[in-house]
Amino acid sequence: RQVLDNWVVPLYETVWRMSGNQGNQWRTQRLDDKRSGVVWNTLSGTFHFELIAKMGRGYQGDIAVDNIQITPGDCGKTSSAAGGTEWFNDVLLNDLKEQLKVDEGYRDHVYLDSENLPTFGIGHLITKSDPEYGKPVGTKVDEGRIDTVFRQDVQGAINDAKRLYSPGSLTWPDEVKEIMVNMAFNLGYTRLSKFTGLKAALDDRNWNKAADEMVDSRWYGQVGNRTKRLVTRMRLVSGQ
């Protein structure tokens, strides 16, 4: 909660709340403190923030909060220095990159993927336009090149997810954005567009039904643990 200190009676305002099982991954949350910003500007008030937690029993009741930042400006309108956009900002982009390193793998050399196609970095399929085209397996690729190609690839996935599910996608929770961009990165626009039941559930903002539709697909049985992680995360959105 947020407290305005210089009032005769302190003004308490709950600005964020989360409950339930959040899984075993860090969750991000951004808050625009617009109402209190008006108070700050007109009264020159001093603020402090209190984190109040109610823990469950046993190790599954543990709670952790980390990396709290207070910055001026709108949370969603971050700079594009790291490649983010207003819809999918730099924080989400960095979160997704770490997820895709697990889901796609990360290799600093040319290798053959599961379909025997030359690949490098974070699941980047080598094409004729790449300078790595025709290079032998094991050829090293530097980190800067891997990062550049990843940003190009992931921007395509961001555009695909946003376009395929617009206008509903414009107001999705951040967690749903990450899940669906992850799927777009894996499947591409054409294959993802065939998930008509999933689209209907997302349009209805029925996250649990969306998870059911993800399970009811050949993709769910083909991709392994990645699909299970994404389905679990989608179901958790329903509980937030």
Structure tokens belonging to residue 86: 């207003």
Identify the pLDDT of residue 54: 76
User: What pairing do the DSSP bridges indicate for beta strands 11-13 and 47-49?
Assistant: unpaired
**Residue that is written with structure tokens 């009264």 in the block:** 43
Percent of the chain as helix, strand, coil, to the nearest 5: 45, 10, 45
Strand ranges for 126-192 from DSSP E: none
* Residue 203 located in a structural domain: yes
Identify the pLDDT of residue 65: 80
Identify the pLDDT of residue 74: 55
* Residue 29 located in a structural domain: no
**Residue that is written with structure tokens 């395509």 in the block:** 156
Identify the pLDDT of residue 30: 67
Q: Residue 125: enclosing H or E segment and its boundaries?
A: strand 124-125
Q: How far apart, in whole angstroms, are the C-alpha atoms of residue 239 and residue 90?
A: 25
CATH number at residue 120: 1.10.530.40
In single-letter form, the type of residue at position 115 comes to E
Phi–psi pair at 2, nearest 5 degrees: -110, 140
pLDDT tens for the chain, 240 residues: list them: 544 444 444 455 566 666 666 665 566 666 665 444 434 444 445 566 777 777 777 766 777 887 776 666 555 443 333 344 578 888 889 899 999 999 999 999 999 998 899 999 999 999 999 999 999 999 999 999 999 999 999 999 999 999 999 999 988 999 999 999 999 999 999 999 999 999 999 999 999 999 999 999 999 998 889 999 999 999 999 775
Q: Residue 237: enclosing H or E segment and its boundaries?
A: helix 225-238
Identify the pLDDT of residue 14: 63
DSSP 4-56: ETTSSS-EEE------S--TTS--------HHHHHHHHHH---EEE-------
Find the helix packing angle between 143-165 and 196-203, rounded to 10°.
70
Phi–psi pair at 180, nearest 5 degrees: -75, -30
* Residue 44 located in a structural domain: no
* Residue 195 located in a structural domain: yes
Four-residue CA torsion sign, 66, 67, 70, 75: negative
Identify the pLDDT of residue 4: 47
Q: How far apart, in whole angstroms, are the C-alpha atoms of residue 189 and residue 54?
A: 42
* Residue 2 located in a structural domain: no
* Residue 197 located in a structural domain: yes
Structure tokens belonging to residue 74: 């709108």
Burial label, 161 (beta-carbon count in 10 A; 0-12, 13-18, 19+):
buried
* Residue 176 located in a structural domain: yes
Number of domains in the chain: 1
The residue range of the domain holding 145 is 90-236
* Residue 26 located in a structural domain: no
Identify the pLDDT of residue 128: 94
